[in-house]
Amino acid sequence: MDEDFEFPVDTKNVAAEEEMGMDMDDLPEPDPIMKVDEEKEIGKNGIKKKLLKEGEGWEKPNKGDEVEVHYVGTLLDGTQFDSSRDRGTPFKFKLGEGKVITGWDEGIKTMKKGEKSLFTIPPEMAYGESGSPPTIPLNATLQFEVELLSWNSVKDICKDGGIFKKILVEGEGWQNPKDLDEVFVKYEARLEDGTLVSKSDGVEFPVKDGYFCPALAKAVKTMKKGEKVLLTVKPQYAFGDTGKAASGDEGGIPPNATFQINLELISWKIVSEVTNDKKVLKRILKEGEGYDRPNDGALVKVKLMGKLQAGTVFVKKGHDEEEPFEFKIDEEQVIDGLDRAVKKMKKREVALITIQPEYAFGSSDAPQELAVVPGNSTVYYEVELVSFEKEKESWDMNTQEKIEAAGKKKEQGNVLFKSGKYVRASKRYEKAVGFIEYDSSFSDDEKQQAKLLKVSCNLNNAACKLKLKEYQEAAKLCTKVLEIDSKNVKALYRRAQAYIQLVDLELAEFDIKKALEIDPDNRDVKLEYKVLKEKIREYNKKDAQFYGSIFAKMSKLEQSGGAKNMATPMAIDSGGKLRTISSVRAKANSCWAAMVMAVMAGCRRMSTRLASTKVAEAH
């Protein structure tokens, strides 16, 4: 057969498909499970597939991928009209782009690498009524024995045709770099005519900052370690309509130029946010072992070196045959940023930790082991987590151990509260309650101990939340106490304090009155009642001013309408009867006043609720 045989597409079929809005991606996927020598129909267009040899793995090519196949084409009577095997050269084409007959596009997308199948393709999915003289008759049903050798995936990365990625070498694993990560790549960029414009045998850059052109950063976020790709980059992800002047070893790039980049992702360093405000970052220099990490209270052993931005070393521990430095997580034995970062490390992990002043030494000078850290300094620690011993978790404890652990955490919280460290104290109280929250396996005596601990820890935590202005959380904690002990005066008192700050004055008054019923002589509750009454007077005054201004505006409108009414003394009602304007106005004003009075009662209640919401949002 002629070597120029290129599987021309039947234009009638294409036109018909376009009119009908057909797309090969809209067809249902065939049954993926087939046995050798089994034949099944695929899709809804009469194409049959017979599996001759199973393929490898589970992946199949997608639309736009460049596939490589060997094939033998015959008529139903066995007459061969073409064969890539006879030519000794595999056939390559882009799948799903109309480069071959429709039957091929639909059939080959169902194949796996190394698979061999026989496809029987009806004329409407091949060359139609006209055929392809002289080799293929009119209305011919064709058979193709196809072996899928390989394919290169081609992806439209940005879904706008701006960057196409063709995978040349598959990468390892499943992870991709993120914006904060630092990637190490090799690349070579050429214009469409082959002119080299930029090249690097190894460059490192943060993904978010990019390098050379925007396409590099977008592409590496889709790549795996060791992956090699060919990028086709359109001007909008390159240098636009301005181009780029030649500089140094890099050639110039004309305006609106499309070019290709061979890109290899060699490796990357994972950079993660330790704190939500991005003021403590951890860059992994060496991956750790396993998945386990230290918990609060864990004893950790580390090697560390702390440096200033200029490179001055201010602390060095665990190096030069010195024993690793030990400290406990969440016990304030090191600066906050270091404490938080080490908690997110794995055993044997090595990381570079960047800590801004808020989580380091603050605004004042801080003398350290080897140098003074000036105020407002960002510091850098290189840390290796040598080992750690986790604090025992509740599920590893028996019931008595849980009660003892809860008691210890409560005492730690009390010490921190007295020191004004409310955030840390709150965490201790929460941890204490966590140990004893589920008490179904406790004895009666242990349940009573747990009940007392829950009450005291939640009350103390509510006090922390009030100090931290987290009023809704404070109210929730007091409610938990009242579910256990409905006559707990402290819980009623503290919940009332929270409600006052949330401007939920009716609920606050309810709690205070109930507390005074239980303990009429409680001095703190009485003082809080005075505060509440003052708040109520303040809001009543504001309500009066607000509604006074509404009635003043109504009065002005009524006065301005009086002059107009003089000129038009009569009106016609819906029944066609003449009525005086004054009587119409009287009824309207009466309805209006009734409506305003009804709304006022609701508004009074809603105003406190609205203020409460605003306070909550502010905090």
Question: Chain centroid to CA 69: how far?
Answer: 41
Q: Of these residues, 7, 91, 93, 127, which one is catalytic? A: 127
Residue 82 catalytic? yes
| Per-residue pLDDT at 594 exceeds 60 | no
pLDDT digits (tens, 9 = 90+) for 463-503: 999 999 999 999 999 999 999 999 999 999 999 999 999 99
- H or E element that contains 102: helix 102-108
pLDDT tens per residue, range 516-534: 999 999 999 999 999 999 8
Compute the distance between CA of residue 287 and CA of residue 539 in angstroms, rounded to an integer.
Answer: 60
Least confident of 136-145, 353-362, 489-498, 565-574: 565-574
Residue 306 has pLDDT above 90, yes or no: yes
**Catalytically annotated residue among 101, 163, 500, 512:** 101
101 catalytic residue (yes or no)? yes
Q: What percent of the chain has pLDDT over 70?
A: 83
Give CA separation, 294 vs 330, 336, 524, in Å: 10, 15, 43
Q: Is 576's pLDDT higher than 60? A: no
* Annotated catalytic residue, options 91, 119, 144, 429: 144
Kindly state the tokens that stand for 422.
């409310």
270 is catalytic: no
**Catalytic hit among 10, 47, 65, 81:** 81
**pLDDT band, very low/low/confident/very high, at 597 (cuts 50, 70, 90):** low
- Given 7, 65, 71, 325, which residue is catalytic? 71
CA distance 530 to 339: 45
Give the pLDDT confidence score for residue 97 in this predicted structure.
85
**Residue carrying the six token digits 């703190």:** 524
The more confidently predicted of residues 608 and 69 is 69
Task: Please return the burial class of 534, using the count of CB atoms within 10 Å of its CB with bins 0-12, 13-18 and 19+.
Answer: exposed
CA distances from 555 to 52, 180, 544, 551, 588 (A): 93, 63, 16, 6, 13
Average pLDDT rounded to a whole number, residues 43-63: 93
- 551 catalytically annotated: no
Q: What is the average per-residue pLDDT within 232-257?
A: 91
Per DSSP, 439 falls in state: -
Report the chain's mean pLDDT, rounded to a whole number. 87
Q: What is the pLDDT of residue 455?
A: 97
Angle of CA points 387, 393, 396, to nearest 5°? 110
Contact between 135 and 145 under an 8 Å Cβ cutoff? The reply is no
> pLDDT tens digits for 399-442?
999 999 999 999 999 999 999 999 999 999 999 999 999 888 99
Q: What is the mean pLDDT of residues 105-110?
A: 95
**Cα gap 241→255, rounded to integer Å:** 4
State yes or no: is 445 an active-site residue. Answer: no
- 395-431: b or e for each residue (b if 16 or more CB lie within 10 Å)? eeeebeebbebbbebbebbbebbeeebbebbbbbbbb
**Catalytic residue from among 7, 10, 42, 82:** 82
- Residue 612's pLDDT band, with cuts at 50, 70 and 90, is very low
Distance in angstroms (rounded) separating the CA atoms of residues 470 and 461: 11
Residue of 175, 192, 177 whose CA lies nearest to 230: 192
pTM of the model: 0.61
Kindly state the average pLDDT of the residues 82-95: 94
- The answer to whether the CB of 62 falls within 8 A of the CB of 153 is yes
429 tagged catalytic: no
Tell me the angle at which helices 444-467 and 489-501 cross, rounded to the nearest 10 degrees.
30
